[in-house]
Structure 1
Amino acid sequence: MRERPPGRSAAQAVLDRLREEVARRDRSLGLTEGFGPFFAMMRAAPTLVARLEELGHRMNDELAAVLAEETGTVPEDPLPRVVAAQISGYHSLIFGEIGRRVTAGERPDAIAEAVTELLDAIEEMLGAPMLGYAVREERPCSE
């Protein structure tokens, strides 16, 4: 999200990144043949699941702090936290869908197609306030 180009909102940048990763069947998403058994083993380890949840909460908090910084709001302002929670929510939804399908033994191409449809639905349901929040501004060149 920090590397997004001018004119891109935080929410749109995350959606764009997810789309790119799905399109190239990125290994970090688990979109590889044979990932299902490994993923099932990970989900069966309570300590690993707890650690992943903790990381998710930490990422949400850090995203809220970055959004507050970028929009110039005070840390107590609820809006950066609300936007961060929305972004974290659809990010989690995508990863959950991939995990469900990988565990069911679906092939990466079929998963990618379904997840792309899910991304389309998410983007369609996000309103202008969400897609217009924290739009990266053009930065003037320093001389």
Structure 2
Amino acid sequence: MSESLRERKKRETRLRISDTATGLFLARGFDNVTVAEVARAADVSVNTVFNYFAAKEDLLLDRTPEMEDTLARVARERRPGESVLQAVRRDFMEALESRHERYGFHEGSDAFTRMIEASPSLVARVRELNETRDRRLAQEIAGEIDADPDDLAPAVVAAQIGAALRTVVGYAVRRMMAGETVEAIAPDLRERAEQAFSLLETGIGGYCVRG
């Protein structure tokens, strides 16, 4: 079904508010910008801002629902004969190759990370996002294999995958913050990611293979 004019205008307004807010936050710091200032810069009312975004943090992390579902989606859409770990490994490498932002390594990651680390509320929100992403992956695995409620394996597998991703991406972003470019870091990041996934393969690589 094609998008109606009303839906398109709402989508464009939401995007304009988010883009305006992100620009202000990057320039001045998240905690130094008020919602009222965002509203004025985006030429909308404060009430309109909150009609689209439940909290100030959502102005910056406006893709949170999509990001929280990333790993569960990869598991859900994986190929026959492919384990959850193998699917995540493939998807991460594809994102690295295309420089897609879904795992947090892309142009601008360094500035984004600096802004988040300077704000306790953003640090807390990102931690919550990561925890939710891991939990949804665990739920996806548990649902597929009809795991017993007391079976901790799905949660353990999801936690290990999530931790590995955060570790390798965090390593790359730290190098960006030190002044290196995405293009300079990417080959080494691929190698280190392969090492991390290979370590997991020896323990959970054969877990939950799609029949």
Q: TM-score, normalised by structure 2?
A: 0.60
Per-residue Cα deviation, 1:40-80 (whole angstroms, up to 9, x for no partner): 12221111111000111111111111111111211220111
Matched, 1:104 2:178: yes
Q: Report the Cα offset of residue 126 of structure 1.
A: 2.2
Q: Distance in 2 between matches of 1:75 and 1:102?
A: 42
Contact residue 96 and residue 186 of structure 2 kept, 8 A: yes
Aligned residue in 1 for 2:132: 58
Relative contact order: is structure 1 or structure 2 higher (C-alpha 8 Å, sep ≥ 6)?
1
Matched, 1:48 2:104: no
Worse overlay, 122-131 or 106-115: 122-131
For structure 1, the residue ranges without an aligned partner over 5 or more in a row are 138-143
Structure 1 residue matching 2:147: 3-state secondary structure: coil
Aligned residue in 1 for 2:200: 126
Aligned residue in 2 for 1:22: 96
- Write the letter of the residue equivalent to 2:120: P
Matched, 1:31 2:106: yes
- Write the letter of the residue equivalent to 1:19: M
Contact residue 164 and residue 197 of structure 2 kept, 8 A: no
Indicate the RMSD between aligned Cα atoms, in angstroms.
1.6
**Count of aligned residue pairs for this structure pair:** 136
Per-residue Cα deviation, 1:63-115 (whole angstroms, up to 9, x for no partner): 11111111121122011111111111111112211221221121111221121
What percentage of residue pairs aligned between the two structures are identical?
37
Contact residue 109 and residue 173 of structure 2 kept, 8 A: no
Aligned residue in 2 for 1:140: none
Contact residue 9 and residue 136 of structure 1 kept, 8 A: yes
Q: Distance in 2 between matches of 1:36 and 1:119?
A: 19
Q: Distance in 2 between matches of 1:37 and 1:126?
A: 30
Aligned residue in 2 for 1:78: 152
Give the number of the structure whose alpha-carbon radius of gyration is greater: 2
Considering fraction of residues, name the structure with more helix: 2
